[in-house]
Amino acid sequence: MTVNDIPNDVKDLSLADEGQRRTEWAEQFMPVLRQIRERFAAERPLEGKRLSACLHVTTETANLAVTLQAGGADVALCASNPLSTQDDVAAHLVRDHGIKVFAVKGEDKESYYDHIRAALAHRPDVTMDDGADLVGALHMIALGRLDDLEGPVRPWVNAMSPDERSALLKAVIGSTEETTTGVIRLRAMAEQGVLQFPVIAVNDSQTKHLFDNRYGTGQSTVDGILRATNILLAGSTFVVAGYGWCGRGVAMRARGGGAEVIVTEVDPLRALEARMDGYRVMPMADAARVGDVFVTLTGNAEVIRLEHMRLMKDGAIIANSGHFNVELDLEDLAQAADGPRAARQFVDEWLLEGKRLYVLGEGRLINLAAAEGHPASVMDMSFANQALAAEHLVTGGSMLSKAVHRVPVEIDERVAELKLAALGVRIDSLTPAQQQYLASWDAGT
Ligand code: NAI
């Protein structure tokens, strides 16, 4: 088989050498995934299964895709965001591993959905999502909601018979979901009785969100803002919208860089936590007047609206690191302001009522648009969970109900143990007396 026989849509296959070098670099920091790959190669738990993944096409995802392939899966990969693809990595996966990749950095909406279509045309037994776009499209097809299908997916489905459409969905054993926003969407599907197969919420495992969302997003979001703007953090006023796992990480890293951090929240507990962690907490309408840099990480829509942008200072910088760019009301901004003018790469200048506002990365995940996403060391754990969750679906998915399931606790603990071992960290274990003490209720004071 030559590279020409592999269905793909990537920018330029001649970038593959660079993609290979960078993927090998990331692999060094992914010891847990490497161990899983070695076991998968020996045991082939995914043998003969077609797997379609909709993930950010990065060096870390390349290592996951190769691990799944080592386990016997026939892998197709499309992007989960139009701006997050690393074109050299996409080329490397096609040329050196024969993986079907459909992703080009900066692709328009039409191409984005054409690539989703290509991943579905792979007729997967297992899907892997980062934001639930694949699962969403599959269910639209099954429900006959063809008008809701985006772009090129619709004519492709229209050309199928009803039997072919339902076969597409029925073939799927289950799916895994990488991020908070995807889990929220999938839970809504399950609650509305729409979800037709089990989904494993990789995001909810401890070895994912405690580390990836907090430390990964924390570091890479600040990295993306700095790479896009080259601003000095020290002495700036940095507004973080949303004090969830991601927001905590960003706030922590911005403060570490010398910024004064303001948090905005809608949840009283999270707001209280932010206050006790030492941040100023206020509504966005107040923060808008004083912030130099704004970043949203809520998983919600319209968090920074035109009414807030009108209050901002000349030169304010606005970014989003939540899953979708709907956190910023960019449509209203485009209506009311002049622009955009490219001030720098990944920086659009808008002129709003005499003030310059700078929107980074078109409001898309700034850590992936302007930087390289999370460091490999933290994706090691997230993607170890993904690989083991895929194995769990293939070996035991038929026993799972059509709902959103947690990653089994044994997988979570195993990933933590492997990571600790890789970091050279040893811990104590319970003595028999301690085990007995913890299991008792009658030992007095
Ligand atoms: P989370 O659920 O832990 O936190 C979200 C927080 O936002 C909550 O505390 C919620 O109360 C708050 N919030 C909701 N609406 C708000 C509003 N209007 N104003 C202020 N706060 C509001 O979620 P998590 O895990 O922190 O994820 C946040 C987003 O980041 C999601 O879209 C997730 O998919 C995405 N994500 C992005 C990553 C990246 O690489 N940039 C990595 C992981 C997750």
On whether both 352 and 253 belong to a single domain, the answer is: yes
| Protein residues with CB under 6 Å of any ligand 1 atom | 179-181, 209, 213, 217, 241-247, 264-267, 270, 297-300, 303, 321-323, 365, 367
Does residue 114 have a pLDDT over 80? yes
Which residue spans within 285-337 are E strands per DSSP? Answer: 293-296, 316-320
Whether 442 is in a domain gets the answer no
Beta bridge partners of 128: 53, 176
What whole-number distance in Å separates Cα of residue 51 and Cα of residue 78? 11
Does residue 150 have a pLDDT over 90? no
Query: Are 382 and 34 a contacting pair, CB within 8 Å?
Result: no
Does residue 147 have a pLDDT over 90? no
Whether 135 is in a domain gets the answer yes
Pocket test for ligand 1, best of 323, 329, 382 (most atoms within 8 A of CB): 323
What is the pLDDT at residue 442?
Answer: 87
- Domain count of the fold of the chain: 2
Whether 98 is in a domain gets the answer yes
On whether both 336 and 292 belong to a single domain, the answer is: yes
Query: Are 383 and 365 a contacting pair, CB within 8 Å?
Result: no
On whether both 35 and 173 belong to a single domain, the answer is: yes
Q: Which of 327, 352, 369 is the last residue of a domain?
A: 369
On whether both 390 and 256 belong to a single domain, the answer is: no
State which residues form the domain around 303: 218-369
Mean pLDDT of 266-273: 98
Ligand 1 atom at shortest distance from the alpha carbon of 248: 26
Q: Predicted confidence band at 246 (pLDDT cuts at 50, 70, 90)?
A: very high
Whether 277 is in a domain gets the answer yes
Q: Which of 369, 384, 415 is the last residue of a domain?
A: 369
What is the pLDDT at residue 158?
Answer: 86
Whether 213 is in a domain gets the answer no
On whether both 378 and 245 belong to a single domain, the answer is: no
Which CATH number belongs to the domain containing residue 360 in this structure? 3.40.50.720
Mean pLDDT of 281-290: 98
Beta bridge partners of 349: 341, 358
Q: Predicted confidence band at 1 (pLDDT cuts at 50, 70, 90)?
A: confident
What is the pLDDT at residue 444?
Answer: 74
- Tell how far the Cα of 297 is from the centroid of ligand 1, in angstroms: 4
On whether both 50 and 173 belong to a single domain, the answer is: yes
Fill in the amino acid letter for 93: L
Whether 39 is in a domain gets the answer yes
Beta bridge partners of 320: 296
What is the pLDDT at residue 148?
Answer: 83
Ligand 1 atom at shortest distance from the alpha carbon of 245: 26
On whether both 387 and 291 belong to a single domain, the answer is: no
Residue nearest to atom 32 of ligand 1 (CA): 299
Which CATH number belongs to the domain containing residue 378 in this structure? 3.40.50.1480
- Tell how far the Cα of 244 is from the centroid of ligand 1, in angstroms: 5
pLDDT in tens, 13-47: 999 999 999 999 999 999 999 999 999 999 999 99
On whether both 152 and 84 belong to a single domain, the answer is: yes
**Count of C-beta atoms within a 10 Å radius of residue 352:** 18
Pocket test for ligand 1, best of 298, 366, 372 (most atoms within 8 A of CB): 298
Whether 435 is in a domain gets the answer no
Residue nearest to atom 33 of ligand 1 (CA): 180
Residue nearest to atom 8 of ligand 1 (CA): 244
On whether both 397 and 364 belong to a single domain, the answer is: no
Name the helix (H) or strand (E) containing 22. helix 16-28
Residue nearest to atom 31 of ligand 1 (CA): 299
Does residue 445 have a pLDDT over 80? no
Whether 109 is in a domain gets the answer yes
On whether both 84 and 192 belong to a single domain, the answer is: yes
Pocket test for ligand 1, best of 265, 297, 303, 379 (most atoms within 8 A of CB): 297
Identify which of 336, 342, 371 has the alpha carbon closest to the alpha carbon of residue 358: 342
- Tell how far the Cα of 247 is from the centroid of ligand 1, in angstroms: 7
On whether both 148 and 277 belong to a single domain, the answer is: no
Pocket test for ligand 1, best of 272, 300, 324 (most atoms within 8 A of CB): 300
- Tell how far the Cα of 376 is from the centroid of ligand 1, in angstroms: 21
What whole-number distance in Å separates Cα of residue 221 and Cα of residue 215? 10
What is the pLDDT at residue 157?
Answer: 87
Does residue 100 have a pLDDT over 90? yes
Q: Which of 323, 349, 369 is the last residue of a domain?
A: 369
Ligand 1 atom at shortest distance from the alpha carbon of 373: 40
On whether both 230 and 183 belong to a single domain, the answer is: no
Identify which of 137, 123, 5 has the alpha carbon closest to the alpha carbon of residue 80: 137
What is the pLDDT at residue 56?
Answer: 96
pLDDT in tens, 333-380: 999 999 999 999 999 999 999 999 999 999 999 999 999 999 999 999
